[in-house]
Amino acid sequence: MKKNRQVISQIAIILIFMVGILTMLYPFYVDALNNVIDQVRVDRYLKESQKEFEAERKRLAEENNKLSDSGLAPGADPFANTNGGTVSSAYYKKHLIGTINLPDLAIELPLFDTTNDDLLEQGATVLDGTSFPVGGASTHAVISAHRGLPERELFTNLPEIKNGDIFLLNVLGETLAYEVFDSQVVTPDQTSVLKIEPGQDLVTLMTCTPYMINSHRLLVTGKRVPYTPAAEKKQVKGDRFRKLKQIAILGGTALLILAAIYQLYHVIARYRLRKVRFDFTVCLEGVAEHTPIALYDKKGKKALRRNGKAYQELTDQTGQVTFTDLPGDCYRLKLGKSWLVQFGLKKKKRPSKIWKINKKKVMLKEERMLEVK
């Protein structure tokens, strides 16, 4: 009963440890997994829609011309509700127009052409009533994304962006670069700051602030700049760092899970093995009759006891000693102050494994019989 309680206790400790680690690391490995899935989905959907890019760019540019004449009319605050859910693959593909990449934060998000609760759970969205992010004079696109979602990073670290940083929009097959020149915090109803500047090509990134309070809106605005080799190099560097981080997080999490599973297997296997009983005989050359040989655990720290006493057996006139009814496990033999050998039954229905100790010659004469010279 005592052994059973020990095994149950060990299993409970391992399970509690595993659940605790997975709970603590949840935001990191789920975000990394979502990023990998997003990358695969975005690449596939954009490749499938490549033939339609030119016509779609032309349509969005015409919509921008209308907004330039009539002025922006930003829709409802995108963060007023937080009841988003999953979306179908068809809906995802219909509204996906590209990605937004922030090299300094090492993030890349799917970019959608409209804003609603469902799409805000998936990535960044173009705020309704503002310009579409296809470039051009007298345009001002506003791109919104959440902060603080447990399963996605999104714009969580947007406050770290500073003036002079570059962000990139890959929209309908074309890459546009923008340089940050202004950051400000406003209330949700201050939409006048999102106006079109004549002749300017602007994009504003918008998210909630302060973190987890969300009473205000952080606006980070960039102006169009050439997409130079330096900007491309910065993007490649950010992408490389992001992918390495994803590999490290997912790989580390997988290793922790495998380690916990291995420990569970080890505890259960050892418990089952100890139910197997075996005898083991050792032949000692040059040892006098009636010499006590003591039995210890695998590490040699604890003497095994039987009937309340240290378990020892005496050699016979041939130097042979037999230990009987041993639970399946690994053991060490001790003669006086000297260690002889380490032996044990590690798996059911398999011969014992023998280790040489103190440079003595050790020979397995037959299964579970050992000769030491």
Given 146, 216, 283, 330, the catalytic residue: 146
Q: Which of 95, 208, 266, 330 is catalytic?
A: 208
Judged by phi (left if over 0) then psi (alpha if -120 to 50, else beta), residue 308 lies in left
The Cα-based distances of 209 to 41, 104, 219, 317 in angstroms read 30, 20, 10, 86
Provide the residue type at 226 as one letter. P
Q: Which residue is associated with the tokens 């310009």?
A: 131
Confirm whether 283 is a catalytic residue.
no
**Torsion (CA) 25, 44, 146, 253 in degrees, nearest 10:** 0
Distant-in-sequence, close-in-space partners of 154: CB < 8 Å, separation ≥ 6: 107, 109, 123, 124, 145, 146, 147, 207
Q: What DSSP letter does each residue of 160-211 carry, written as one string?
A: G--TT-EEEEEETTEEEEEEEEEEEEE-TT--GGGPPPTT-EEEEEEEEEST
* 3-class secondary structure, 46: helix
Q: Catalytic annotation on 146?
A: yes
Q: Which residues are catalytic?
A: 146, 208
